[in-house]
Homo-oligomer: A and B are copies of this chain.
Amino acid sequence: MKVNVAANILAANDSIARQNRDIFRGYGVLVINLMSSPGSGKTTILERTIDILQGQVSMGVIEGDVYTSRDAERIEKKGIPVVQINTVGGCHLNAGMVAGTFEKLPLGDLNVIVIENVGNLVCPAEYDLGEDMKVVVLSTAEGNDKPFKYPAMFRKSSAVIANKIDLLPYTDFEMTVFERDVQAINPEINIFPMSARDGKGIEVWCNWIKQMSEAKK
């Protein structure tokens, strides 16, 4: 019985996600579902990305958090449209929560929307939000064993950002093992090594976003 309930919840979610996707397509806006463990650096990556793409790509952000509006406040300082969703205990965003932000976002003016999901490497992978692609962030401090331990997230993502490469000398993270493992799970995945803190690797990532956005228009 529990399985049926879960299936129904997912089916209802997928139906709303399809509506979201149609709406995004109508506006020609590229939508990225950004996911990771807590503290991998999603918001810092977003801040850097907004800085670099300013004047080239019109961005908006949907911030998902269990509690607090701290991340939205950080994004707001960049002067771009941002909406905070608090799940109040919920461990992932769902398509209905995203649909609830549409009247607060100038969809017609945007080229790219990034949805920063709740910090959680398990549950968000199961919920389609209507995005064009999922991107997963992993911090090198988390260790290179994570793809096989949390495969759904890596299997469903179009790209993975290996963030905090500035910490590589102080951790046991092996980039070659990570790349081999993540490609074993998902041979098509794009891998972006990055240090959002010092800016390394951010340009390559931003160029990719720009290309994807051009293709969506």
Residues of chain A touching chain B, judged by Cβ–Cβ distance below 8 Å, are 2, 5, 9, 37-40, 65-68, 70, 89-91, 118-123, 126, 138-139, 141-143, 145-146, 148-152, 164, 166-167, 170-171
Determine the chain B residues whose CB is within 8 A of the CB of A171 once the complex forms.
167
Q: Are A164 and B145 in contact (CB under 8 A)?
A: no
A167 partner, pick from B5, B149, B152, B170, beta carbons under 8 A: B170
Q: What number of copies of this chain does the assembly contain? A: 2
Q: Are A39 and B141 in contact (CB under 8 A)?
A: yes
Cα distance A122–B65 in the bound complex, in angstroms: 11
Task: Write the chain B residue with the least CB distance to A65.
Answer: B149
Cα distance A83–B65 in the bound complex, in angstroms: 34
Contact A67:B170 (CB < 8 A) given known A5-B5, A91-B122? no
A149 partner, pick from B2, B67, B122, B123, beta carbons under 8 A: B67
Determine the chain B residues whose CB is within 8 A of the CB of A90 once the complex forms.
122
Cα distance A146–B150 in the bound complex, in angstroms: 21
Determine the chain B residues whose CB is within 8 A of the CB of A91 once the complex forms.
91, 120, 122-123
Cα distance A149–B39 in the bound complex, in angstroms: 10
A145 partner, pick from B70, B118, B170, beta carbons under 8 A: B70
Q: Are B148 and A38 in contact (CB under 8 A)?
A: no
Determine the chain B residues whose CB is within 8 A of the CB of A138 once the complex forms.
39
Cα distance A120–B142 in the bound complex, in angstroms: 12
Determine the chain B residues whose CB is within 8 A of the CB of A118 once the complex forms.
122
> Top 3 A-B pairs ranked by shortest CB distance?
A39-B142, A141-B141, A91-B122
Determine the chain B residues whose CB is within 8 A of the CB of A170 once the complex forms.
166-167, 170
Determine the chain B residues whose CB is within 8 A of the CB of A70 once the complex forms.
145, 148-149
